[in-house]
Structure 1
């Protein structure tokens, strides 16, 4: 389904806008860089530890900076000179520690603090900071008994457990209020996009899995819980939509102030894996039998010895050289399809305040990104 235009499409480029994208090699970071440089003609600084091989259409207004944000000295050296920045997009996170731990909270706070310490003193034109977190804002990992099916942005924070999303929101409120810089939070669900630098890469998982199934003539099984298979269980967030909502939230022409507000960033259409799994399989070129659900099947077990098979596929098909674990995280896929609680939200708030862009079908979104991965020669 085609995207609807927003005010940003008609607005001219008379005002110079300069963005810093932290996490530019990720699913949403790549889309932000692509849209801002080619569609909106912003100047963009892309920040990551390693440059992205997939960002092929280089433009004069895109500048990559390699930086280790967990190193305060490196952040100061690489970022303190970015005095012309008007907008910051934070679409990264530190993943060394388990998500629901104090160590994870501390490390993510440190990473953002280092970036803010380097940029804020000289960035006098900074107008907006757009933070990306996620729908897990509503459900900490160690909390299991929640009687809410659809989350809205007014749901209170959980009173127990650790969630680094809360830490980052509090840090922005603390650091930016004195600077009179606006900020907002975008909360996507399961992101569909194209990247080989993303730890929780759903598209990479299913595309690699499907490619291996086709290569070895294996059944394209859905391994998970019956509830996840048969019920509407999670929201999909297309990376194109998430990027556009970041830009919308950061625009200068908001009718209503959104400073300090959060927005669910989801496609907004319900689906079940039972409905769309056969569609995904056919898109990947597979024959999909009727009996494809298995509560016992574990991707982490079935794919544990398939790294060599993936190398064979890459060589045979002339693909971009990648290791299997650069695209696929099998533990993530096992956890996703056995998630003990629903992660469904409403996007009424963003719609009410004027954001109109959306995709109606999860299967259309997934199909688009399979084609994108093929065009990037990540999958056959």
Structure 2
């Protein structure tokens, strides 16, 4: 069928890539190709192509698998072992730039029908990792272009490559993303779930391990996947960047009782704790929990990845003063036609409950 959609998802094992596989696989009416170094735990009907995007030759060899592609969801990401420090690392910037270039060099010649490239950024576009955000941060006026960032390398490359072409791009800037993944760099369900499991074993309530409060936003990864799909078919999304959130705001203190309830625990008191520092002590107990509860999740390092570091960062471990609010505007995407919203407390309940029923957490 000449008009059949063929969606290529790069970074298919990650939080966003996994959600994109799930969305397009269940939506029907399209072929889906999953690109990643490791095979995703669930393919949702997609065909997996093993690929390392830093390897230009391997990308070229895979071009035949990309033939006829109409849409690319680029959710691939390289993060340095020192996650937070790596956000300003020139090597991290170069590697992410190279990965997109390698894939597009293979994809474009193989996919003359290409119509859309969706690229993921985030609030680091507004410098959240180095300064207080302008509140609310708006697309097209709040960007911190002076701060080196792989976002700008990738965005500039796509803008130049797209000139005079039939395809277009859209940039999605989600806030804190919550969903299902394993071994990612920025997935909060595994580290918080493991922390909760350790406390439950001790007969303790779910103590609050974070630092001083900050008003923030989050986005359900399934909602984000639907925004990505929308951007691929909406004329209003052609060559535009959009913030994406659930539509509300939260503080960790305020959602903590809901998280405890979803994990069938009582909320405890404030007990500041660095999960990144503590987790080596949890490796052996986690293996014992996996055996006892017949979990499908792997060992701690593979399950959580760098996300213990991300949990400390997101929850502001060690910070004693309230943080500046981290708020972006979603007026642009709403006015362009994507108006979905979700209650952030319901989102946390959804994913912690899902992790338990899926036997990822006890």
Give the TM-score of the pair, scaled to structure 1: 0.87
* Structure 1 unaligned spans of 5+: 1-12
Cα displacement (A) at 1:159: 4.6
**Per-residue CA shift, 1:180-224, capped at 9, x if unaligned?**
320000011111110113111111111111122112223422223
Q: 2:69 aligned to 82, 85, 89, which one?
A: 85
Q: 1:244 aligned to 226, 229, 232, which one?
A: 226
Runs of 4+ with deviation above 4 angstroms: none
Aligned counterparts of 1:189 and 1:156: Cα–Cα separation in 2: 15
Q: Which stretch shows the higher mean deviation, 370-379 or 203-212? A: 370-379
Cα displacement (A) at 1:100: 1.1
SS at match of 2:261: helix
The correspondence of residues 59-138 of structure 1 with structure 2, limited to 5 A, is 59=45, 62-96=46-80, 98-138=86-126
Counterpart of 1:221 in structure 2 is 207
SS at match of 1:88: strand
Cα displacement (A) at 1:298: 1.8
SS at match of 2:59: helix
Counterpart of 1:355 in structure 2 is 338
Aligned counterparts of 1:193 and 1:167: Cα–Cα separation in 2: 27
Q: Does residue 1:268 correspond to 2:268, yes or no?
A: no
Cα displacement (A) at 1:326: 2.6
Aligned counterparts of 2:183 and 2:60: Cα–Cα separation in 1: 24
Let me know the Cα RMSD of the aligned residues.
2.0
Cα displacement (A) at 1:321: 4.2
Aligned counterparts of 1:293 and 1:183: Cα–Cα separation in 2: 45
Counterpart of 2:325 in structure 1 is 342
Aligned counterparts of 2:229 and 2:71: Cα–Cα separation in 1: 9
Give the TM-score of the pair, scaled to structure 2: 0.91
Cα displacement (A) at 1:152: 1.4
Q: 1:206 aligned to 192, 195, 204, which one?
A: 192
Aligned counterparts of 1:168 and 1:342: Cα–Cα separation in 2: 27
Aligned counterparts of 1:263 and 1:135: Cα–Cα separation in 2: 11
Aligned counterparts of 1:200 and 1:21: Cα–Cα separation in 2: 18
In the comparison of the two structures, how many residue pairs are matched?
A: 351
Cα displacement (A) at 1:305: 0.7
Q: Does residue 1:305 correspond to 2:299, yes or no?
A: no
Q: 1:320 aligned to 293, 296, 305, which one?
A: 296
Preserved CA contact (<8 Å) 1:214 1:285? no
Counterpart of 1:259 in structure 2 is 238
Q: Which stretch shows the higher mean deviation, 63-72 or 370-379? A: 370-379
Cα displacement (A) at 1:156: 3.8
Cα displacement (A) at 1:116: 0.6
Cα displacement (A) at 1:283: 1.2
Preserved CA contact (<8 Å) 2:135 2:327? yes
